């Protein structure tokens, strides 16, 4: 199996499931206290977990015009900001980490709200023909770390959807490959005809 180097993180949703909080703060920027004790937005926690698990490049799929918001967040402090934190070494280190994270990000825009599968498809030029990991920026419990590091394989959950629900879930077409021992093992691909 090829090494998984890329991840696609969808962050283009409108935040309707998190109403009313999402009217004040974009859902990907909701703050959580991470395992290291620092308060971080959800998107940072997910990006850090992806990179810590061996992912090398990440594409954030956003709404049109939101790249600047993320670029402004994932950056090092400027000189003026650094002066305010000069006695806080942890903050300077965190600023360096943010800048380093930002250097590994690419962006794709989802111009119409046509569901999760459509959002992932917007990253097709970033992904190319490589295997990739997908994550949802508003669901930090779907961590990348345990899936890739501990299992050394990719795992994706599937469920049946009504025809009307396909826009929210996407489509997978199962097929099987025969192994040397003539056992059939199912594999999944995205249906590119959708």
Three-class DSSP category at 176? strand
Q: Which CATH number applies to 6-152: 3.90.550.10, 3.40.50.620, 3.40.50.970, 3.40.50.300? A: 3.90.550.10
| C-beta neighbour count of 28 within 10 angstroms | 27
Residue from 110, 14, 5, 131 nearest 60 by CA: 110
Taking 90 as the threshold, does the pLDDT of residue 168 lie above it? no
Summarised one tens digit per residue, pLDDT across range 31-61 is 888 888 889 999 999 999 889 889 999 999 9
The residue ranges of every structural domain in the chain are 6-152, 157-194
pLDDT tens-digit profile of 69-84?
999 999 999 999 999 9
- Tell me how crowded residue 1 is: count the other CB atoms within 10 A of its CB: 7
- The string of pLDDT tens digits covering residues 113-153 is 888 888 999 999 999 988 888 888 766 554 443 333 333 44
**Which residue from 116, 136, 121 is spatially nearest to 45, judged by alpha carbons?**
136
User: What are phi and psi for residue 70, nearest 5 degrees?
Assistant: -75, -40
Residues of 62-74 as b/e, b for ≥16 C-beta within 10 angstroms?
A: bbeebbeebeeeb
Q: Using pLDDT thresholds of 50, 70 and 90, give the confidence band for residue 109.
A: very high
């Amino acid at each position: 199996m090829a090494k998984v180097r890329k991840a696609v993180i969808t962050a283009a949703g409108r935040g309707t499931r998190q109403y009313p909080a999402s009217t004040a703060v974009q859902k990907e920027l909701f703050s959580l206290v991470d395992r290291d004790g620092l308060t971080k937005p959800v998107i940072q926690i997910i990006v850090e977990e992806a990179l810590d698990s061996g992912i090398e490049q990440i594409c954030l799929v956003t709404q049109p015009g939101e790249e600047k918001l993320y670029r402004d967040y994932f950056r090092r402090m400027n000189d003026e900001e650094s002066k305010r934190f000069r006695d806080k070494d942890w903050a300077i280190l965190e600023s360096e980490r943010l800048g380093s994270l930002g250097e590994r990000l690419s962006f794709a825009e989802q111009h119409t709200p046509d569901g999760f599968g459509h959002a992932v498809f917007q990253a097709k030029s970033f992904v190319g023909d490589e295997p990739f990991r997908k994550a949802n920026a508003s669901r930090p419990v779907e961590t990348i770390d345990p899936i890739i590091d501990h299992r050394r394989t990719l795992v994706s959950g599937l469920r049946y959807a009504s025809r009307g629900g396909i826009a929210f879930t996407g489509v997978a077409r199962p097929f099987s490959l025969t192994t040397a021992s003539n056992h059939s093992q199912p594999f999944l691909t995205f249906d590119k005809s959708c």
